[in-house]
């Protein structure tokens, strides 16, 4: 059962995650209600991103604006040639263009670091582990019959059902937090300073707790530079279950020049 369950779990996870990965830009932009903007409409937006592309050697992504009042931003796309960057109306209202430079350098770093691919692989592994645990557990429940002498018991099966998916989720969340730290570091290196992003993060953290984004899909929350669900009640009770690092830690790292090491 273990081997066949693993194969089934991997196939299901791969099919589901591959489609999400391959069409990640279209799915994310549509879900966020992003609208494309031209250079004539937003010359500063284009000028900042074009400068970042020159610095990093990345191709120019497609640029979007979403109607959300919460200040936030995200990047998506299966590779640099199919990347898209979106900012909310809210972030354009509270951040200076110097702060936006830090935010957009962070997002372009996600593109350059292939974080959509990394997160997709992590999601596949987590889903496969979860499915395997459930297949194995249910197989034990329905085929265990009179196997008490072999040491099988309900507690072991419940532990398998609960702990394996929990461990997979914790590992996925830890990876997501590490990619955010790395994008902060890469973005600061791209522009030669961490202060613009640190200043922007302080604003985003404060406003995101006051202005909720209830329409965002939970599965998309990890894409954003700031957790878009932070303003909603009972979203997370522990940093271990968050896909974003504590904002205070991110700001401290940026201002301590750790990114330059």
Catalytic residue among 99, 107, 152, 219: 107
Q: Using an 8 Å Cβ cutoff, are 20 and 27 in contact?
A: yes
Question: How far apart (Å, rounded) are the C-alpha atoms in residues 116 and 59?
Answer: 16
Query: Edge-to-edge strand order for the sheet containing 73-76?
Result: 35-36, 62-66, 84-88, 73-76
Buried b / exposed e along 193-224 (16+ C-beta atoms within 10 A): bbebbbbbbebbbebbeebbbeebeeebbbbb
In terms of C-beta distances under 8 Å and separation of at least 24 residues, what long-range contacts does 225-230 make, across chains too? Answer: 225/72, 225/73, 225/74, 225/103, 225/106, 225/107, 225/180, 225/201, 226/71, 226/72, 226/201, 228/68, 228/70, 228/72, 230/205
Buried b (16+ CB within 10 A) or exposed e, 80-92: bebbbbbbbebbb
Told to judge if 39 belongs to the known catalytic residues of this protein, a careful annotator would answer: no
**Which residues participate in catalysis according to the annotation?**
107
């Amino acid at each position: 059962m273990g081997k066949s369950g693993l194969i089934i779990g991997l196939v299901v996870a791969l099919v589901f995650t591959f489609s999400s990965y391959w069409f990640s830009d279209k799915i994310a932009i549509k879900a966020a209600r992003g609208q494309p903007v031209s250079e004539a409409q937003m010359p500063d937006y284009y000028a900042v991103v074009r400068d970042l592309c020159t610095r990093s050697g990345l191709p120019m992504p497609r640029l979007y604006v979403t109607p959300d009042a919460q200040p936030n931003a995200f990047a998506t796309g299966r590779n640099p040639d199919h990347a898209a960057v979106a900012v909310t109306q809210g972030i354009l209202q509270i951040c200076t263009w110097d702060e936006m430079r830090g935010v957009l350098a962070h997002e372009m770093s996600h593109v350059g670091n292939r974080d959509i691919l990394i997160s997709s692989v992590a999601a596949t592994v987590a889903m496969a582990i979860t499915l395997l645990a459930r297949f194995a557990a249910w197989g034990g429940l329905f085929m265990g019959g009179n196997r008490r002498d072999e040491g099988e018991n309900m507690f072991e099966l419940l532990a398998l059902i609960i702990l394996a998916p929990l461990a997979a989720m914790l590992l996925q969340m830890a990876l997501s937090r590490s990619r955010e730290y790395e994008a902060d570091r890469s973005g600061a290196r791209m522009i030669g300073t961490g202060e613009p992003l640190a200043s922007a993060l302080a604003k985003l953290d404060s406003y995101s707790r006051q202005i909720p984004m209830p329409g965002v899909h939970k599965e998309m929350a990890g894409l954003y530079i700031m957790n878009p669900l932070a303003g909603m009640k009972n979203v997370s009770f522990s940093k271990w279950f968050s896909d974003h690092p504590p904002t205070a830690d991110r700001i401290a790292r940026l201002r301590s020049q750790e990114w330059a090491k």
